[in-house]
Structures are given as C-alpha cells and as structure tokens.
C-alpha cells in the first residue's frame, strides 16, 4: 500500500508571508506535517515570536514588499508561500509574482482574486450566480435621491477600513471623502461602493473550500454580528439564530458563488441578514483564511491550514460534503486587541510587563504575545484570540468567560476586560447582539474597588517583608503580626493584616504565588494577577488591567486645560488644518491622526489663537506628544 503523503512529497518548505499569531498558527500545522518553516521579518520584528519559532528567518524591508517576499522564498528554497490574512493575502499581483517565480501560493489564483477580492467585481459574480445582493446606488448619482441610511465602503480590501454610514445627503460628501482617503491609504485604491445600510442585521458567513479537482464544499456558517465600526469582536459557529432552513439557503448560495468563481483553496462568503425582513444579502468574499477560522475547526474537527496545503499541493480535499458528520457543538472566539475599550477604544502601544494566557479543556489560544514584549502601532492591533468550544453554546460561553478571567496582560491596556464583560452579558447570552448593537450601547467600565483591595494587600505585604520576593514559587514569606499600613494608591488605603481587613473590608489570603493572588474578600473568593513596580501597581482582574498609583505620578498624562493639544494615542498625523497665528473657535478641527484602523479629530479646547502647530503630516507621534497649542481669547475680547 502506498503511504506517501501527497502534501509533503510536493511541499517540503513553506514560507509564511505574515507575522504574529497567524504565522505561528501556520507553523504549528507545518511542524505536525514535518514541513520546514521560513519566517520573514522587518526591523521592528527582529525579536518577534514568529521569528524565533521558524526553522529559518529572513529580513525584508516591509511585509508589503512583493519582490522582497518572493526573493526570500527563493533564497530559502521554499516550495510554497502561505500569505496568512491581511498584508499580501488578497493581492492578485502578489499571486502572479509567486506563480511567475515557480512557487506555489497557498491560496486562490490571481484571476480568482481579481474576480472575488474586490467587492464590486464579486458583486457582479454573485448576481450572475443568482445570489441576492444588497441594493446599491451609483457612486456618481445624486445623493439627494438616495434612501438613507446608506453605507459607503471601499471596493478593495476589508477589515472595516474605508467604511462610513451616511444618514443624510448633507453628510455624503464628507463621508465619501473620508472613506476614499482611508481606502487609498490602506489598499492603494479609493474606489467606493454605495449600498443600502441595514440598521439591524446579523453578519453571517460561510466557510467554503475548493480543490483543483472541481470539488467545492461548505463547512457550515459563522455568526460575526458582535462587531464595532465594522470590526469583528466576537465570532461563533454555528450561528445561534440560524435554523436548518436558513442554513441550507446560506450554504447553498455560498457554494454556488464559489463554483461560479472557479474558486480554489479556503475562502469565506459573507452575508448580511436583515432582521426586519429575514432576507439575506451577499456582502463580499474573502479570498483567504479568516481570522475566525478556529471556530470552524472546532465544530468540524478539521485543520483548515492542512486542507489549504493539500490543495496547494494538487491533492483533493480530504473529505466530501457528505462526509461531514454534522456540527460538533459550539465554539466562540474573542479577539484580544491593544486598545482601551473603556476609554474611547483608543489604540494602545507599549511594552508588556506580565502576560498570562488561559488554558484548559475546551480552550484554545492563538497568540504571539509574551512578557516584556514591545507592541507598536505599526501593525494591526490584534494580539491574539481566545477560543472556547463546548457541547452547546451556553457551555462554550461560560468556558470563554472563565478563560478571559484567566487572561492577564499587564504593561499594556487591552480589550480583554471588555471582552469578558461582553461575553458575560445577558444580551450576548441571549444572542440579542446585532451588527449595530455595540455602536449604540456602552458597557460600564469595571469598578476598581476590588482590584484596589488586591493591590493594597500585596503592597502592604511588600512593605513589611524582611526578605524574599512576594511572588516566588513558595508563596509569601510571612513574619509576625504586622501593624496597619497605609498604602498610597489612587487614594490612601488602610491595610491591617493582623485583623485581616482592607479599609474595613474582611480579607483572608488563600495563596500568593508567581504573581497570582487569591483572596477571600468579604466572603467571596477572588483571584487576580498582580505586578508591583516602583511607581505603580498593576492588577489584572477578570481580564481588565487596572493601574493604581498616586495622582501625582499621572501628571504627565493628564490634560491640564492650558490649551495644549496632545496625541491621545500613538500614531500617524494625517492632516494639519491650521497654522500658527490662526484664530479658531472651540471645537474647531486642528488636524487628524490615525493609528490601528482608527481616525481621530484633534479639536481646539476653546476659542482662541493657535500659538504653535508642531504636528507634521506623515509624522509618527508618541502618546502624549504636543501637537498644537491654543491660546485663549483675552478676557473680555469681543465686547463692544
């Protein structure tokens, strides 16, 4: 019997033209199959996890440099290139360059990317295949004739970039200009589409996969309705509101579209379900592996990267549609981003101090972030994904809540606490969150009260220790009965270890080891990761990072109301609209900046004159950098 693997006889070395968690994800399957791995990296990523994980790593100027990436593959003797997602993954010119170099692309052909990678071309294919599409308008039409609201979106790319909701004709010109600018910056193409905007809908997508032998199958659907500003936050499979009849219609439409396009390899067909009518519309096709592919792997038992490699090697799929044994339970994925979700969702950057990812039965983590690692704004803000799988949705949901409880990222603010609160909410439990929900609802910020107790308890112990480190493996080294200690955090906190109280609240220590503190607080067992540093105490509680320190230590980061406009996030200056000496009114837009898929207007705090405009278009600026200074009008100015 011939036991030769059709994949590894053709593909012995794979270069991953990507970084972060997706590069590590592809490496994991390659390693299991016995395929050598090659990483590429830029100067910012010399010490990145994906570089250390590969069998070989080669430097490139940019992950977007097609010639450099292809040259690296040839230098490494790679038989195939896996593009991951983002970067070059949907660039047809990259696919052509790879083919011309005699290397296999783990993805569809350049012709299919041209046909399906652009929303306008894909829409035409969908119409031809009889798949329903969202009603649209001519981008050069009269905005006064449109039925609002409408969605302006980039024809190229994805990820929520180049999208604006327009609710009136008066807003149309500004919205299209902003969407075009963002699309041109992100994709090098400012072509726009104008479509009906569905106010209340569910974002449903179908995973399809096709081989070079004419077979196309679906792997059921995912629900990605929990999103903010068109950026997905939580994804799950199967769709919690999808019944068998709707599932059949969705999957049949997705397969028909893929067949009409001549699609090969893994792809995703995205639909919008109008909650008001029950109708669904084709949105776009992603001609690559999706960020959320782990939930599909969980409910099917398949390794999608292995299937991708099989197809790239010319082998047939490992199964046919009839071989799928139904949906295996339920899976939910949470995307962990470097952003302050309770502070305007502003992007964050910095160096991690402590990082702890969850583990356990039914929990999967795809990540590329560890302790003492630098996170910049140069790349996408996603740091990792936490996935929970269970026999039913509620079991999976509760497992994800526990997993996010055990997710601790200190030194850098992330959305992990926001994710935990969202997954634990009644609305998510009841599958009531649609595509617009997060744009109209706010989750309350977690209270710092309990984290303050944890921080104060640890700080008090540190203050009275004679020797040893409080988080060494053998736990705290305790001395005799200590006197009460006043701990200076965001306010003074009195800790009496002898009586077992913090500001009068009963506290009993259970354990303290390797920065993990477990206390019984007022009768309830609580657990947190704590990191005490000379200037601050950081606590990760239920995924949320709490920074507790005296107000004077925060002085450099707090706006003092003197007319100085600083960068509220690290990023790039997009526009400078004023010059020194120019008079402005309160709220006047002085300039624009962008970081990690977010544009932000910098506005005058009050009426006055621009004393200085230090912002420079295209410049990279740090958090807190002074960009403009406005001097207020003289007292009594304007009196007649």
CA distances from 255 to 62, 151, 218, 269, 322 (A): 35, 26, 6, 9, 14
Instruction: Select the more confidently predicted residue: 23 or 566.
Output: 23
Beta strand pairing status for 36-41 and 13-16?
parallel
Per-residue pLDDT reduced to its tens digit, 182-212: 888 878 889 999 998 888 899 999 999 999 9
pLDDT at 466 exceeding the cut of 70: no
Instruction: Select the more confidently predicted residue: 469 or 461.
Output: 461
For the whole model, what pTM was predicted? Answer: 0.84
Torsion sign (Cα): 431, 435, 439, 445: positive
Q: Supply 98's token pair.
A: 């790879």
3-state class percentages of the chain: helix first, strand second, coil last, to nearest 5: 25, 30, 40
The residues, ordered by sequence, that sit 6+ positions from 325 with a Cβ below 8 Å of its Cβ are none
Which has the closest alpha carbon to 389: 418, 416, 365? 365
Q: Distance between CA atoms of 540 and 530, rounded to whole angstroms? A: 7
Residue 452: pLDDT band (50, 70, 90) is: very high
Burial class (CB in 10 A: 0-12, 13-18, 19+), 137: middle
pLDDT at 347 exceeding the cut of 60: yes
pLDDT value of position 554: 33
The residues, ordered by sequence, that sit 6+ positions from 65 with a Cβ below 8 Å of its Cβ are none
CB of 382 closer than 8 Å to CB of 336: yes
pLDDT value of position 561: 54
Average pLDDT over residues 143-166: 87
* Max CA distance (Å), the chain: 101
Which has the closest alpha carbon to 45: 21, 64, 20, 70? 20
Residue identified by tokens 């999706």 is: 290
pLDDT at 4 exceeding the cut of 90: no
CB of 609 closer than 8 Å to CB of 582: yes
CB of 412 closer than 8 Å to CB of 389: no
The residues, ordered by sequence, that sit 6+ positions from 164 with a Cβ below 8 Å of its Cβ are 151, 152, 153, 175, 176, 178, 179
Strands (E), 176-225: 192-196, 201-210, 216-223
pLDDT value of position 556: 34
Per-residue pLDDT reduced to its tens digit, 352-388: 999 999 999 999 999 999 999 999 888 888 999 999 9
CB of 446 closer than 8 Å to CB of 421: yes
pLDDT value of position 560: 38
pLDDT at 266 exceeding the cut of 70: yes
């Amino acid at each position: 019997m011939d036991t030769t693997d059709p994949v590894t006889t053709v593909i012995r070395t794979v270069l991953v033209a990507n970084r972060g968690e997706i590069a590590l994800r592809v490496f994991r399957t390659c390693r299991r199959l016995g395929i050598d791995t090659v990483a590429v990296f830029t100067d910012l990523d010399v010490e990145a996890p994906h570089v250390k994980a590969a069998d070989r790593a080669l430097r490139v100027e940019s992950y977007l440099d097609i010639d450099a990436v292809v040259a690296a593959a040839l230098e490494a003797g790679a038989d195939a290139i896996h593009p991951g997602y983002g970067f070059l993954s949907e660039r047809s010119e990259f696919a052509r360059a790879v083919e011309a170099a005699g290397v296999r692309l783990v993805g569809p052909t350049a012709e299919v990317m041209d046909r399906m990678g652009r929303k306008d071309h894909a829409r035409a294919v969908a119409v031809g295949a009889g798949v329903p599409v969202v009603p649209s308008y001519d981008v050069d039409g009269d905005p006064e004739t449109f039925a609002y609201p409408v969605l302006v979106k980039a024809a190229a790319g994805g990820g929520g970039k180049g999208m604006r909701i327009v609710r009136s004709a008066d807003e149309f010109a500004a919205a299209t200009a902003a969407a075009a600018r963002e699309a041109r910056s992100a994709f090098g193409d400012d072509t726009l589409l104008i479509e009906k905007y569905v106010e209340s809908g569910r974002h449903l997508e179908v995973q399809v996969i096709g081989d070079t032998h004419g077979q196309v199958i679906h792997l059921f659907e995912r629900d990605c309705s929990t999103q903010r500003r068109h950026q997905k936050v939580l994804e799950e499979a199967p769709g919690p509101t999808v019944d068998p009849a709707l599932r059949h219609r969705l999957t049949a439409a997705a397969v028909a579209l893929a067949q009409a396009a001549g699609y090969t390899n893994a792809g995703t067909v995205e639909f919008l379900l109008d909650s008001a009518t029950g109708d669904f519309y084709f949105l776009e096709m992603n001609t690559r592996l999706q960020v959320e592919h782990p939930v599909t792997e969980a409910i099917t038992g398949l390794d999608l990267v292995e299937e991708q490699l099989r197809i790239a090697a010319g082998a047939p799929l490992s199964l046919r549609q009839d071989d799928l044994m139904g949906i295996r339970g339920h899976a939910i994925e949470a995307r962990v981003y470097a952003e302050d979700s309770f502070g305007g969702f502003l992007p964050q950057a910095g160096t991690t101090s402590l990082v702890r990812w969850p583990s356990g039965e039914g929990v999967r983590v795809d990540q590329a972030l560890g302790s003492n690692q630098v996170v910049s704004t140069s790349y996408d803000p996603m740091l990792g994904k936490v996935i929970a799988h269970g026999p039913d949705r509620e079991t999976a949901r509760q497992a994800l809540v526990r997993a996010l409880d055990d997710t601790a990222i200190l030194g850098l603010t992330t959305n992990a606490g926001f994710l935990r609160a969202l997954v634990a909410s009644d609305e998510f439990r009841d599958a009531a969150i649609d595509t617009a929900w997060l744009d109209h609802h706010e989750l309350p910020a977690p209270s710092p009260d309990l984290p303050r107790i944890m921080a104060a308890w640890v700080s008090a112990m540190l203050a009275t220790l004679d020797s040893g480190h409080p988080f060494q493996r053998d736990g705290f080294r305790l001395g005799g009965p200590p006197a009460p200690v006043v701990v200076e955090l965001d306010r003074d906190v009195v800790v009496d270890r002898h009586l077992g109280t913090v500001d009068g609240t009963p506290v009993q220590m259970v354990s303290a080891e390797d920065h993990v503190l477990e206390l019984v607080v007022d009768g309830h067992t609580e657990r947190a990761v704590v990191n005490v540093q000379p200037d601050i105490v950081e606590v990760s509680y239920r995924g949320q990072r709490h920074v507790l320190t005296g107000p004077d230590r925060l002085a450099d980061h707090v706006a003092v109301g003197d007319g100085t406009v600083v960068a509220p996030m690290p990023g790039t200056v997009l526009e400078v609209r004023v010059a020194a000496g120019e008079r402005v009114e309160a709220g006047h837009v002085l300039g624009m900046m962008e970081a990690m898929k977010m544009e932000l207007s910098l506005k005058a705090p009050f009426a006055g004159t621009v004393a200085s405009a230090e912002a420079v278009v295209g410049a990279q600026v740090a958090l807190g950098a002074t960009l403009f200074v406005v001097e207020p009008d003289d007292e009594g100015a304007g009196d007649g």
